[in-house]
Chains A and B, each alone.
Chain A
Amino acid sequence: MTRLLWTYAAVALIGIGNAPLGHAARQQAPPPGEGIYWYYDADTALEVARKTSRPLFVLKIRADIGEKPAT
């Protein structure tokens, strides 16, 4: 049960960044530049953080939470 709840958390943390404001918004693609810009490589992220003086937000997810059943 606990694992299920954390699965929801993982989905929520990705989903919240991408959540629509209403039903109509769900039908539309976000305008260019409006999506979440994610980094994956540590060196690249650290370099951007130093250049922009921005802090880093690191989302850690166990992959099998997001895995879909084999098809």
Chain B
Amino acid sequence: MESGLCSSGSDFHALSKKFVCVRLYYTLEGAAEPFAKLGLGNPARPDANFNLGKPGEVKRNNADVAFLDPDGRPINLLRLRPDAKPALGASSLGCWVRDLPGGEAVGNGTQMVRQTLEMMREISKLHPGKGEALAIPWQVSLAHAIFVSAWDSSETKRGWGRLESRRIVLAPVREGRVEPSLERSLGAPEVLKKHGHRYVFVKADLGKAPAEWAEALDRAGPGGLVLLEDARTANGFGQRQVGAPRTYPKVLDVKPGPVTKASVLTLLDKSAGNANGR
């Protein structure tokens, strides 16, 4: 199995560069809404558990892949182009890899990977893309940030070569906004190209942050940032751990504002996931 994944994996890594890749754990706080914005409807509907689909309902899957064209229109994978009149919420057949022939009945990871890679090859030919652009990959919620950090860091320890332990960058938010100078520094191409995939970026409301981080956020001020250790567990943040005490990652460093591109680079260079042999 490992060799199969590895050979497929190298394909996926190369192909992913031709896409804008989105990953969402849809049952976590804030992670269902983006599907509506992407025209993909409610990821948990019409039935949250695809094994319990009723006659006439479109079954949905716990894990699936959809594609959108560069204008943000869901691609019907059966025809490799967006529908002229897309169904509301893209709940009709054709928008998910599972809708492809064989996908409905099999529930087979190997087949899904194969079909996904095939679609990636086909779609990247139709939309070759141009230029480079990166943006700050903001998380959709603190819970999602913790989960991504815990998952990627955990998988790294298990030996997946292209994942990294991902520490968390907390950007203080006041009145719903990140300080423009901080956003400019974090969003500089040099910073993102080097570190955009190595850290988890999340906004933290100064008035609502957990007590564990309050002092650090206060010290950072609105134009600064707080660096956290990678999450060791998703306890308290995930769907199955409701009621478990939340385990907040520890504060690793604080950079009082105002920060610059150079000072952000220095901080992130020093603390990147595998830089210190962690």
Contacts and interface: CB of A to CB of B under 8 A. Distances in A.
B164 A29 contact: yes
Interface residues of A, number: 64
A49 to B, nearest CB: 5
Interface string A25-61: 1101110111111111111111111111111111111
Best-buried of A25, A39, A53, A54 by chain B (most CB within 10 Å): A54
Q: How many interface residues does chain B have, given as a range? A: 35 or more
Interface of B: 5-6, 8-13, 16, 18-28, 31, 33-35, 37-38, 40, 43, 51, 61-72, 75, 107-110, 112-113, 116, 120, 123-124, 126-140, 144, 147-148, 150-151, 154-155, 159-164, 193-198, 233-235, 238-241, 244, 272-275
Contacts of B66: 58, 60
A41 B140 contact: yes
Contacts of A71: 233, 235
B107 A2 contact: yes
A36 B107 contact: no
Contacts of B65: 13, 57-60
B161 A30 contact: yes
B4 to A, nearest CB: 9
B8 A19 contact: yes
B20 A48 contact: yes
A50 B9 CA distance: 27
Contacts of B33: 42
Contacts of B140: 40-41
B245 to A, nearest CB: 9
Given A35-B198, A43-B37, A68-B233, A52 B147 contact: no
Contact of B137 (A6, A38, A56, A67): A38
Given A49-B68, A54-B18, A3 B6 contact: no
Contacts of A46: 37-38, 72
Contacts of B68: 49, 55-56, 58
Contacts of B12: 13, 16-17, 19
B194 A32 contact: yes
Given A6-B109, A56-B38, A37 B28 contact: no
10 interchain residue pairs of minimum CB distance: A19-B9, A9-B109, A29-B274, A20-B161, A18-B162, A10-B63, A42-B34, A54-B129, A42-B37, A63-B25
A37 B120 contact: no
A16 B241 contact: no
